Amino acid sequence: MDQSGLFDLTGKTAAVIGGGSGIGEAVAIGAAKQGADVIVLDANEAAAQAVAARIGGSARAAALDIRDGEAVRTAIDDIARERGRLDIVICTPSINVRRPILRYAEEEFDKVVAVNLKGSFNVLQAAGRVMTAQRGGSIVIFSSIRSQVVEPGQSVYAMTKAGILQLVRGGASEFGPFGVRVNAVGPGVVETPLTAPIRANAEWYAAYANKSALGRWARADEMVGPTLFLVSDAASYVTGIILFADGGWTATDGRFTPPGM
């Protein structure tokens, strides 16, 4: 196997959902730099258009609400038809309502599940239909460290992120015979618009930074490498996994160093 171009995405069509800001924006730009033909999809069409303009070339953008299954199917089908095939789909959007279980409102529950879980399913289903038919492709859906560990107020968000992991495993098992790989990325705490309220609280920000082995938050562009690895030929035998990019958050158990160490 020629290993000189393992991370090269030249000639591949990539749809990056949530590409208008944060991690999705960084991934869209990163994929384009590796040669991919990128389509930026986001609920905020203006933001998606701005990112596509930054990328330039053949990049284009469109509005997409992943809660709308029909809209997701149409968007994915249109890309595959216009570009001849669809090699990569990356899905980053999620929302969170921090609330103790006993105070969680039904509408808040429905809102988080609709985006994080139903939306991810809609993307996996639509991309899976196209890719199994063409017998090849790679899908990456964003999960979280919260698929494994939780804190007060994060129960519903954590539930959806654990559900995404099982969804990815199910997709990998069903789509694998058609040459389609499905994986997840599990970020730790990342500096994005979604985490702005936490970063505005110095004590909260420091507590999260100190939980990781590296002692800091991640930048959005630090999620690019793990994501592009999973969609590249470098990961040609990798499917059904979650790749944690969490600075060692899930590897550490407290930050106290015993005396004499």
Tens digits of residue pLDDT in 95-143? 999 999 999 999 999 999 999 999 999 999 999 999 999 999 999 999 9
Q: Which of 157, 205, 208, 237 is catalytic?
A: 157
Reply yes or no on whether the pLDDT at 5 is more than 90.
Answer: no
Alpha helices in the chain (DSSP H): 22-33, 45-55, 69-83, 106-113, 120-134, 155-175, 196-199, 202-211, 224-231
In terms of Cα–Cα distance, which of 118, 124, 159 is closest to 141?
A: 124
Average pLDDT over residues 39-65: 98
Reply yes or no on whether the pLDDT at 232 is more than 70.
Answer: yes
Reply yes or no on whether the pLDDT at 246 is more than 90.
Answer: yes
Structure tokens at 216: 């800091």
Q: What is the pLDDT of residue 4?
A: 65
Least confident of 1-10, 142-151, 199-208, 251-260: 251-260
Q: What is the pLDDT of residue 99?
A: 94
Domains of the chain, residue spans: 13-190+220-245
Pairwise CA distance, residues 166 & 250, whole Å: 18
Q: What is the pLDDT of residue 194?
A: 80
104 is annotated as an active-site residue: no
Length of the chain: 261
Reply yes or no on whether the pLDDT at 1 is more than 70.
Answer: no
Model confidence pLDDT, tens digit, residues 160-213: 999 999 999 999 999 999 999 999 999 999 998 888 888 899 999 999 999 999
Q: What is the pLDDT of residue 257?
A: 65
Reply yes or no on whether the pLDDT at 258 is more than 80.
Answer: no
Say which amino acid occupies 152: P
CATH superfamily, domain 13-190+220-245, is NAD(P)-binding Rossmann-like Domain (3.40.50.720)
Average pLDDT over residues 85-95: 97
Average pLDDT over residues 68-72: 98
Q: Coil, helix or strand for 5?
A: coil
Average pLDDT over residues 136-153: 96
Reply yes or no on whether the pLDDT at 52 is more than 60.
Answer: yes
